[in-house]
Structure 1
Amino acid sequence: MQYNKLFTPFKIGSMEIKNRIVFSPIGINVSNIDGTISNCEIDYYEERARGGAGMIIMGAQFISQDIANGSLSGILEHTYVIPQLTTVCEVVQRYGTKIVAQLCCGTGRDAFPNIHGEPPMSASPIPSTFNPKVNCRPMSYDDIQNVMERFAFSAKLVKDAGFDAIEIHGHTGDLIDQFMSPIWNKREDEYGGTDEKRARFPREIIRSIRNAVGLDMPILFRISLDHRFEGGRTVEDSMHLIKLLEEAGIDAIDIDAGSNGAIDYVSPSAYLGDACMEYLCEPARRSVKIPILNSGNHTPETAVRLIESGNTDFAMFGRPLIADPEMPNKLMNGKGEDVRPCIRCNDCLGRVAIRQTKLNCSVNPQVCNEVRFQIKPAKAQKNVVVIGAGPAGLEAARVASIEGHKVTLFEKEKVIGGQLAAVATPAFKSQLRGLIDWYDIQLKKLGVDVQLGREVSADDEILASCDKIIVGTGAVPDYMSIRGIDGSNVINIIEAHKNKKLLKGENIVICGGGLSGCDMALELSTEGGKKVTIVEMADVIAKDAIFVNSASLIPMLAKAGVKTYTNSKVTSIDNQGVYLQRDDGTSELIKADNVVTAFGMRKNNKLAEEIKAKYHIKTRIVGDCEKVGKVGTAVHMGFFAALSLE
C-alpha cells in the first residue's frame, strides 16, 4: 500500500506539522515525585521523534499538585520544572517533530480516595466514582477562578519551556468533561443548565490559556464525542459543544470515544477491531472547520483511508508507536513489512494502572528503557543455539543476531510462533498473526538459520559445540483427572484452534473460563456459528484478563449468546455432555456435541531441564517452559537472554 498521504505537511494554526502521524498522549508513570519529568521520559519521547512522528502530544501534566491524580506525571506549578521540559522539547524538535504539552486540571469525581481523601471536587454534588456513598464537593466560584489562574500559569510555563502547542485534557469523564456533561453537571448557576452554560468552564480555560500565551501558540482540545454508556453524552449531543469550543478559539480538536464509564474505548482492546473511533470523524467534520485529530486502533492502512476521506487531518497512534517508534520512518521508506505490530493486549496500561509501575510494552521491551536496553554489537561473535520458535525463542534469536552472533533456531513444528500460531485464528487476533509474520521477516533478513521440523535432544552434537544455549520450548495444555476426559468428543484448546473441523457439532462446552477459554468461546460463537457454554470454577470468567479488555469481552460474549456457569466444577464428561456441580451442591448436565478443555497451561520443560543439567553454565531457559505467562512475559525473557550475551 502507498502511504504517501501520511507524509504530507498540514497546519494547525500557525504551526506546520511535517506529516499526519501524531503520537497520542499516554501516561507513562515515570515522572519524578517533585513534578519534574525524568530522564527516562525524555529518552522515551526522543525515540518517538527519531522514529519520524510528525507531532508528539505528551501525556497529561497537571496544573497543580493538589489535583494531580493517578500515574506519576509532570506538575506545572513551579518554574523549577522548566529545564527538564526544555530538554524534552529540544530533543524532539531536533528531528523536526512538534511537541505539545497536554494540560489537565484533574479527575474530579474519578479521584482515587487514597490520593485525595474524600470528598473529591467536581462540577456538582454527584457520587464519587470509587466511593458512591460519598458525594463530591461542588466547585465554588473561587475554586473555578483558581483553576483559571493555574491554567494561565501552567500555559505560560510550558511556552517558556519551548513547547510548540498546548492541548487541554477534556475527555474520559475527568473534571472538565464533568462540567460539559449533563449526567454529571447538575448546576443551576452560570456553569450549568444549558449547553452554553456547561461549556462555560472549558471556554474560560481556553481564554485563560490564550491570554497567557498569545495568539501564535496553537491550542488543541481533547474530547470524547461519544461517552458510550447509558445517559452519557452522545455524538449528536457533542456537535453543538464542539462548535462552542471552536468559537472560544481552539485551533484543533482531538476526538475519540469512551469514558471511565466505558473504559474499553479509553484504551481500545483487540476485540473492538481497527479504527474503532473513525465513526466520529464525519459528523465532527460537518460541525467544525478547524483541523481534526482522531485516535482508536488505527493501522497505517486505516490512517491513509481516513486522511484520504477528508474527514480528519491527522491520525493518532499511541500503542503502535510504543510498540515500534520507527513506524513512520519505515512506512515513509517503503519498509512497511518491518513495522512491529502492537498486539493490543493493553499490558502497557495494566502495568501502570494495576502494578503502579512505569509503562512498558509486551512486544518492545526497550520502552522506557531506551538507553539502558540498547542493543549493541557484541564484543565477540558467539555460536548461539535457540530451541523453540515461540515468542521467547523468536525474540532471543532476533536480538542475538542483531548483536552480531551466529544464531541457529530449532523448532520441532513446521511453522514458527509456538502457541501464538495456534491460537491467533480469530479476526480479533489479527495483530498476533501479524507479530508472527513480522518475526518471520526479521529473522530472514537477519540471516538466522531457522530449522523447522527439527527436534533437538540433549545429546545433539550442536549443543556441545555451541557457545550459548537458549531454550524456549513453551508450555502444553494442562490436564485434569476427570472421568471421561479422554473421550472422543473431548479436545484440548490448542488442538481445537489448530483443527476446528474436529468440532463437528453445534453445541460446544468449554471447560475453563480463563481468558483463553473465553476467547475461544467468542471465536466459535461469532465466527463459527456455534452455541457455546463456558463452565468455570471461579466466581467470574476471564479473571486473568486486564480490566480494559474484559470490559469489551464480557459484553461481547453475552451478545453472542454464550452461556456461562461460574462457581461450577466439572465432575465428568460423556457423549451426552458435561456434568457439573455448583458450589451450592446442586448438579446439572450441560449437553454438548463437543467439549473443549481450557484448564490453562503447564511448563513443557523436560528437554529444558535435561539440557540445563548437561550444560548448566551456558544454558538459559526462557518463556513458558521457565514460567507460564503472557506473550509479553515470553518476549521480555527472550530479549533479556539475548541482551545478556557477553
Structure 2
Amino acid sequence: MENKYAKLFEPMKIGNMNLRNRLVMSPMGTFTPMQDGTESEEGMMYYEERARGGFGLIIIGAQFINEKLAQGGPTIAFNNNRAIPKTTVLCERVHRWGAKICAQLSPGTGRNGMPDIGEEVPVSSSENPSFYDPNVICRPLTVEEIKEIIKDFSKAATFAKNAGFDAIEIHGHAGYLIDQFFSPIWNKRTDEYGGSVENRARFAVEIVQAVRNAVGQDMPIIFRIALDHRFPGGRTLEDSMPILEILERAGVDAFDVDAGAYETMDYIFPTAYVGDACMAYVCKEAKKYVKVPLINAGNHTPETALELVNSGDCDFIMFGRQSIADPEFPKKLMENRREDMRPCLVCNEECIGRIFGRLTQLSCSVNIQVCMEKYFQITKTDNPKDIVIIGAGPSGLEAARVAALKGHHVTIYEKTNDIGGILKIIATAPFKKRIRELIDWYDVQLKKLGVKIKFNTEIKADDTILDYADKIFVATGSVPLVPNIPGITGKNVIGVIDAHKNGVFGERIAICGGGLSGCDTALELAMQGKKVTVIEMLSECAQDAMPINKISLMRMLAENDVTLLTDSKVVAIEPNGVVIEKKDGSRETVEADTVITAFGQKADTTLSNAIKAKYNIKTTVVGDAEKVAKVGEAIRTGFYAAMAVE
C-alpha cells in the first residue's frame, strides 16, 4: 500500500551523521535528572520510548554547561566527567532502537532565568531587566567570564562526545543568553561583543569554534535560533539572515529555526490558539541564505510536516509535545495507521505547565505514562473482570481503553447518542480541533479493542447490571452552576454548553462569567463576527487559564474586539441585556440579544452517591463526577481507575 507520508521517512544527513528519517524530537526540559547530575531512570525510559517509536533524531532538553549558569532547573552535569558513564547508558538505550541522539548545550537563560533558581541576580549581555522581575537588573558578563563560558562549552562538548552523543545543538534560542548577545534590544555593549552584527555574533561564533575544536569534523553542530521575535524592538526575519550566514561560515551543520521570545512566550510553547505549523513561515526566507539543512518546529501535524518538506523550504520537522502525547506516532505513520496517532491537545497543562507551575517532571494530559513508562506499563491480566463504566466523557473513555488493553471485559453505558461528553460539545471552535480529534481517536481505539458502548441508556443505582459487574466506574461528569439571579431563566438566556450545542441567536452577545470557558466562547463567537461582551466579577478574566495559553487568548480577544468588563457583578438579566454592578456600587445595563451563562460547573454526584451507597467496595468515581477539573485530570483519573484493576 502506498504510504502518504513516505517523504517524511527518507534517509537524510546532517553533516556526516546519517539519519533514518526526517522526524526529529524537539528538545524539551523534563525535570527528570537527578541531584548528582545524572539522568534518572524515568528520563532514560522517556527518551528510549521515543527512539523506539521511530524518530530519526532525539534532541534532549537544554543541558546547562555549569551549575552557576543553570537558571532553568535540573539537567545532566555536562561539567562533571563522573556523569559520563550513566549518560552513556542513555545514549546507548536510544541507539538500541536505531535513532541518533543529540545533546543541546546552553550557557543559561540569562535575563529569562526562572525565579528562585540559580543566581539571585541573573547575568546577561548588558544591564537588562530580568524578564520575571524587571526591578532586578542583570549583571553584564565580563570578557573574562565570556572566555570561561567558551571553555566550559569545550568541556561540555568533550563530555558529549565521550558519552556517545551523535551531535551537539547549541541553544541560541528565543531570548536566552546567546540571543541576548545577538539582539540590539538586549546588547548595549561597546567592546568586541557589541555593536556590529559581526561583534554581536562573536560570542556564538566562538562557542561554535570551541565545540568544533573539541569534537572534530565528524560530529555535527546544530544551532537553534528564533529568527523572528515577534515583538516590537525584537529581532526580525530580515535582521536574522546575516547571523545565519555568519554561523554557517563558522561551521554550523544545520539550523533549528522557529520564532518567539519570552515577550511572545506563546510561540516558545505554541498554544492551540496560534494554530498548526505556526512557525513554518520562517523557513522560506532562511533557505535563501544558507545551504545547510533546516529543522522547524511549531505545532506541526503529519500533514503540515509533509507540506513543508514538499515545499523544499525545510529538511527536517520537529515534533515536541506530539512526541510526548504519542511516542509511537512515527511508527504508526510508517505503518499507514494515521488513525491510531493519539493527538496532542496543545494544552500546555501537564508538560510545561507542570514544570513552570510545580517545578516537577513533565507529564501529559492525554498520555499519563509519560516519564512513568517503567511504572505504568499496561500488561494483560490473567484474571479478566467485567467492568461497567457509566458515562462516555474523557475519564470514562480512558478508563475503558486502559481496562480493555489489560484484557478486561468493558461495557460503557452512555445516556446520549454520542461519546465525548461535555468536552466534545464545547469543542466547536477552530482552535479546539485537537479536542475533536482526540474524541475521534478514542472512538477508533475502543472499536478496535472491542469495547461495548450502549448509547441512549441511562443507568440507575438499582439496575441489575450493576449486581453482576466486578467493577463500576462512575463517570457522569458535571452540571452547570446556576446562581439565583433574577431573570436567569428568561428566554434570552442560554447556558454555555447549550450555546455550543445549539448555536447562538443575535449579533450582540453578553457572556456572564469570564473564566476560561466564557472567554473561549467569547473568542469563538467574535471570530464569527458577533459583538461580544464578557462580564466577570473578579478583577481579571481567564484566571483559570494556563498562563502561557492566556497570552494568546488575551491577544486574540483584543484582536477580535471582545469587550472584557471586570470587577462587574451580574445582578439581573433582563430582556434587553444584563444589569451589572461595579465596585463603586453603580449599575449599568449591557445590551445583548442573547445572554450566555458561564458560571462554571459542579460535580454531578446524584448517581455516584447512590451507587456508592449500594456498591461502595467495587465503585470508583472518576472525572468531573469526582472533582471538576481540566481534561487532563479527568483522563488521569480514568487511567488510574483502570490500572488499579488487577
Q: Mark yes or no: TM-score above 0.5.
A: yes
Given candidates 361, 374, 378, the residue that maps to 1:375 is: 378
Which one-letter code corresponds to 2:511 in the other structure?
A: I
Task: Report the secondary structure of 1:58's partner residue.
Answer: strand
The one-letter amino acid of 1:518's match is C
Q: How many Å separate the matches in 2 of 1:32 and 1:410?
A: 45
> Which residue in the other structure is 2:575 paired with?
575
Quote the residue 1:510 is aligned against. Answer: 511
Q: Name the aligned partner's letter for residue 365 of structure 2.
A: S
Partner of 1:523: 524
User: Equivalent pairs: percent with the same residue?
Assistant: 55
CA contact (8 A) 2:72 2:108 kept: no
SS at match of 2:306: helix
What does residue 446 of structure 2 align with? 443
Is the deviation greater in 4-13 or in 114-123?
114-123
Counterpart position of 1:330: 332
TM-superposed deviation, 1:39: 1.0
**Pairing 1:43–2:48 present:** no
Deviation string 1:153-187 (CA, Å, 9 cap, x unpaired) is: 00000100000000001112110000010000001
Measure the CA separation in 1 of the matches of 2:639 and 2:286: 43
> Which position in structure 2 is the counterpart of 1:619?
619
Is 1:427 the counterpart of 2:430 in the alignment? Answer: yes
Q: What is the distance in 2 between the residues matched to 1:436 and 1:133? A: 46
Code of the aligned partner of 2:8: L
**Where does residue 104 of structure 1 map in the other structure?**
106
Indicate the residue corresponding to 2:497 in structure 1. 494
* 8 Å contact kept, 1:341–1:434: yes
Amino acid at match of 2:446: L
SS of equivalent to 2:585: coil
Amino acid in the other structure paired with 1:186: K
Letter in 2 for 1:614: K
Counterpart residue number, 1:631: 631
1:483 paired residue number: 486
Match of 1:553 in 2: 553
The 8 Å contact of residues 40 and 368 in structure 1, kept in 2 or not, is answered as yes
RMSD over equivalenced CA pairs, Å: 0.9
Q: Distance in 1 between matches of 2:546 and 2:74?
A: 21
CA offsets per residue over residues 247-298 of structure 1, 9 Å max, x none? 1100000001101111000010000111000100100101100000000000
Once structures 1 and 2 are overlaid, which stretch shifts more, 123-132 or 304-313? Answer: 123-132
- Name the structure 1 match of 2:232: 230
Q: Distance in 2 between matches of 1:586 and 1:34?
A: 60
Superposition pairs for residues 190-205 of structure 1, below 5 Å?
A: 190-205=192-207
Query: Contact conserved, 1:60 with 1:74, CA < 8 A, in 2?
Result: no
Code of the aligned partner of 2:34: N
Alignment correspondent of 1:607: 607
CA contact (8 A) 1:68 1:75 kept: no
Q: How does 1:241-390 map to 2 (within 5 A)?
A: 241-347=243-349, 348-390=351-393
Question: Any stretches of 5+ residues in structure 2 without a counterpart?
Answer: none
Provide Cα deviations, 1:174-215, integer angstroms capped at 9, x if missing partner.
Answer: 100000100000011111101111000000000000000111
2:130 equivalent in structure 1: 128
Candidates 187, 195, 208, aligned match of 1:206: 208
User: 1:491–1:17: structure 2 CA closer, same or farther, 3 Å change rule?
Assistant: same
Which whole-Å CA distance do the structure 1 matches of 2:61 and 2:429 have between them?
Answer: 33
Query: Could you tell me which amino acid in structure 1 is paired with residue 516 of structure 2?
Result: L
| Code of the aligned partner of 2:464 | E
User: What is the aligned partner in structure 1 of residue 151 from structure 2?
Assistant: 149
Deviations along 1:412-459, whole A, 9 cap, x unmatched? 010000011100101110000000000000000000011111110111
Asked whether the equivalents of residues 516 and 543 of structure 2 are also in contact (C-alpha less than 8 Å), the reply is yes
1:473 to partner: Cα distance: 0.4
Q: Distance in 2 between matches of 1:511 and 1:448?
A: 40
Q: What residue identity is the alignment partner of 1:640? A: Y
Shift of 1:30: 1.2
- Give 1:582's aligned amino acid: K
Given the alignment, which residue of 2, 5, 10 partners 2:4?
2
Secondary structure, aligned partner of 2:116: helix
| Contact 2:254-2:292 within 8 A present in 1 as well | yes
Are the aligned partners of 2:71 and 2:109 in contact in 1 as well (CA < 8 Å)? yes
- Residue 95 of structure 2 corresponds to 93
SS of the residue corresponding to residue 616 of structure 2 reads: coil
Moved more, 277-286 or 73-82: 73-82
SS at 2:270 equivalent: coil
SS of residue in 2 equivalent to 1:440: helix
- Structure 1 SS opposite 2:61: coil
* 1:293–1:313 contact (8 Å) kept in structure 2: yes
The one-letter code sitting in structure 1 at the alignment partner of 2:273 is Y
CA distance in 2, matches of 1:629, 1:112: 27
Indicate conservation of the 8 Å contact 2:516/2:542, yes or no.
yes
The residue that corresponds to 2:412 in the other structure is: 409
Distance 1:276 1:634 in 2: 28
Q: Any conservation in 2 of the 1:226–1:235 contact (CA below 8 Å)?
A: yes
Distance in 2 of aligned mates of 1:297 and 1:430? 13
- Uncovered stretches (5+) of structure 1, i.e. residues with no partner: none
Q: CA deviation at 1:71?
A: 2.4
Over residues 62-89 of structure 1, what are the superposed CA-to-partner deviations in whole Å (9 max), with x where a residue is unaligned? Answer: 1001110122222211111111211110
Quote how far apart the aligned CAs of 1:115 are: 2.7
User: Is the contact made by 1:28 and 1:71 (CA closer than 8 Å) also made in structure 2?
Assistant: no
Q: Distance in 1 between matches of 2:512 and 2:50?
A: 44
TM-score relative to the length of structure 2 = 0.99
Tell me the CA shift for residue 33 of structure 1: 1.5
**How far apart, CA to CA, are the structure 2 residues paired with 1:136 and 1:318?**
31
**For the residues of structure 1 that align with 2:313 and 2:490, how far apart are their CA atoms?**
56
Instruction: Give me the whole-angstrom Cα distance separating, in 1, the residues matched to 2:622 and 2:94.
Output: 36
2:26, 2:297 within 8 Å by CA — same for their partners in 1? yes
Deviation digits for residues 462-518 of structure 1, max 9, x if unmatched? Answer: 100111101100011111110000000000000000000xx2211000000000100
Alpha-carbon contact 2:69-2:119 (below 8 Å) kept? no
Amino acid at match of 1:588: E
| Rounded Cα–Cα distance in structure 1 between residues aligned with 2:116 and 2:54 | 40
Asked if the contact 2:508/2:530 (under 8 Å) is kept, the reply is yes
Output the amino acid matched with 2:379.
K
The CA distance in 1 between the partners of 2:595 and 2:86, in whole Å, is: 59
Equivalent of 1:398 in 386, 397, 401: 401
For residues 596 and 626 of structure 1, the distance between their equivalents in structure 2, rounded to whole angstroms, comes to 26
Alignment correspondent of 2:181: 179
Name the structure 2 match of 1:32. Answer: 34
Asked if the contact 1:322/1:361 (under 8 Å) is kept, the reply is yes
Answer yes or no: is the 8 Å Cα contact 1:409–1:449 preserved in 2: yes
Residue 113 of structure 1 deviates from its aligned partner by 4.7
Q: Which amino acid aligns with 1:139?
A: L
State the distance in 1 between where 2:120 and 2:41 align: 34
4+ residue segments displaced more than 6 Å = none
> Secondary structure at 1:182's aligned position in 2?
coil
Normalised by the length of structure 1, the TM-score is 0.99
Query: Whole-Å Cα distance in 2 between the matches of residues 264 and 584 of structure 1?
Result: 35
State the aligned residue count: 643
Contact 1:82–1:157 (Cα < 8 Å) also in 2? yes
